[in-house]
A and B are shown apart, each in its own frame.
Chain A
Amino acid sequence: MEWINEESTVLDLGCGKGDLLSLLIEKKRVNAQGIEIDQHAIQQCIIKGLNVLQEDIDSGLSDYSEKSLDYVILNQTFQQVKKPAFVLREALRISRKTIVGFPNFLHFSSRLKMCFGGKVPVTKSLPYKWYDTPNLHFFSIADFIEYCKTKEIKIEEKVIISKNKKVKLFPNVLGEIGLFLLSK
């Protein structure tokens, strides 16, 4: 939220019911556009008066030109797309800054459940069973940082969150959710 400038242009990929975008419009008066695939979520967005397009992010963002938007947001969407590398590359291409938020698969509660429970973890930030999860990719905060390094993606800011508080120590173990402000 603090990362986003007043009256900027924001594209939220996988905007769900549009809660974040409505908040950004209210607090930052942004020029907002959402993309969502689920028809019922779209209806909720329309109720909120948002501009939303029913599209599949995996098929690309080719309609947008280079750096045509201030921010692209991939909040809890990134781990659910089929081609995360492609989607992130596209997001970075069309935006000045890209914000990515995802659940840390290697939070200690997950590690405990895996090591001692012998089962795929179900936690607060990963609430799904293995057979009905929308999450297609499982990775940790460390994995993501490493990925950004290899792809020469600049991490401008990062916040690691657990129980709605910022985590300073051992983020890869104690962090539930990672939020990154990226540019390229």
Chain B
Amino acid sequence: MITAIHQLKNIKTKQFTFAFPPNEFILESGKKLGPITIVYETYGELNKEKTNAILVAHALSGDAHAGSHPNDNIVGWWDNLIGPGKFIDTNKFFVICSNVIGGCSGSTGPSSINPKTKREYATDFPIISIGDIVNVQKKLIDHLNIDKLLSVIGGSMGGMQVLQWMVAYPEKIKSAIPVATTMKHTPQQIAFNEVGRQAIISDPNWKKGQYYDSKIPVKGLALARMIGHITYMSDDSMKTKFGRRYKLNKENNKFGAEFEVEGYLHYRGDSFVKRFDPNSYLYITKAMNYFNIQNGKRLGSIFKGLKAKVLVISFKSDWLYPAQQSQKIVKACKLANVKTTYCDINSNYGHDAFLLEVIEEGQIIKHFLNSVLSND
């Protein structure tokens, strides 16, 4: 059912499995998980000194396939940024992107087989956090024998992982680029995720998560994705993209999709269910909602002692992760005397800008990475 895994088989995906019982991985919740498989891709070559490695962290629905290799049958989600001669130039840098745990594109998640029961974990899968996701990434970086990353880059939930790296492993990064993200979700952001989860849970096919050998709750997941997509776009980008135009093939019933925007949301919802596991959606959105890098600390002490250079990026029309949230990150960096650059990029795309506004974003990232590289 999760075709991404099959598709990814044509792609140069690598695997790393660790934490075999009895030495399971201890999650932040104290629960144990193991063995853990983490699926990852790499682009470019690691230099001899191992100083050119960049970790790219993906967002809620992303996977390890950030860039592309020759003969790939699908393009990576940040392909216009990552590649030879591109903004994140793989002639220069060694780029790593791994699928998060809890996900469904190869890394251990609720759709993986639980060795104890020989069945899918489903809702027996433990609750995971952004901290757990990053701790597992750290295991992968150790496995690759990389002592220090040149940079960690990510947008949205990927940005949360970047912030987590800044706090959990400040000595292990030379720079960090959190894009269109937040130090913690607001009630509004928590609420949108909750509606998405409720859409899945109220689908009769969800059956408390035990659906792997029967019908999948595709309706619920598609609905969650539709809500998500509304929050990823801006009012302006929707007007430009769809206006009030009617779609070509109207459905033959009173309440079928008529407007182009409706058709688009249906299409997005329907294509998402082919590649994403509903239970993963529940687990990952939970991790996002729990994320709170401040965690009761004073703003000035969050990044205290961080030596890495930080580039914070937001987008003007992003209302899901608005600029003020990035400015709060900047403020926390300033108070901690962290070397910080901040750019609020002009864009109409809304939150999706971090995937679409690649020229402006790419230029800034490129120049920033070059300055980090030449700082040796």
Contact = CB atoms under 8 A, between A and B. Distances in A.
Contacts, number: 48
Contact of B335 (A43, A50, A53, A63): A63
Interface string B310-345: 010000000000000000001100110001111111
A17 to B, nearest CB: 13
21 contacts: A33-B340, A39-B346, A42-B343, A42-B364, A43-B367, A45-B341, A46-B343, A46-B371, A47-B371, A48-B371, A49-B371, A49-B374, A49-B375, A50-B341, A51-B309, A51-B339, A52-B341, A53-B340, A53-B342, A54-B344, A64-B334
Contacts of A48: 371
B232 interface: no
Contacts of A45: 341
A55 interface: yes
Contacts of B331: 63
Contacts of A33: 340
Given A47-B367, A49-B370, A64-B334, 14 more contacts: A39-B345, A43-B363, A43-B367, A45-B341, A46-B311, A46-B343, A48-B371, A49-B375, A50-B341, A51-B339, A51-B341, A53-B334, A54-B343, A63-B334
A43 B364 contact: yes
Interface in A5-36: 33
Contacts of B18: none
B368 interface: yes
Contacts of B342: 52-55
A130 B22 CA distance: 77
B129 to A, nearest CB: 29
Nearest to A55: B342
A141 to B, nearest CB: 34
Interface residues of B, number: 23
The CB with the most chain B CB atoms within 10 A, among A43, A46, A50, A64, is that of A46
Given A46-B364, A51-B309, A39 B340 contact: no
A146 to B, nearest CB: 34
The CB with the most chain A CB atoms within 10 A, among B341, B344, B367, B374, is that of B341
Contacts of A49: 370-371, 374-375
Contact of A39 (B334, B341, B343, B375): B343
Nearest to B372: A49
Interface in A52-111: 52-55, 63-64
B151 to A, nearest CB: 14
Contacts of A51: 309, 339-341
Contacts of B374: 49
Contacts of B375: 49
Contacts of A55: 342
A23 B32 CA distance: 54
Give the 5 A-B CB pairs with smallest separation, nearest first.
A49-B371, A46-B367, A53-B342, A47-B367, A51-B339
A53 B338 CA distance: 12
Interface string B125-160: 000000000000000000000000000000000000
Contacts of B364: 42-43, 46
B342 to A, nearest CB: 4
Contacts of A63: 331, 334-335
Nearest to A42: B343
Contacts of A39: 343-346, 360
A53 B363 contact: no
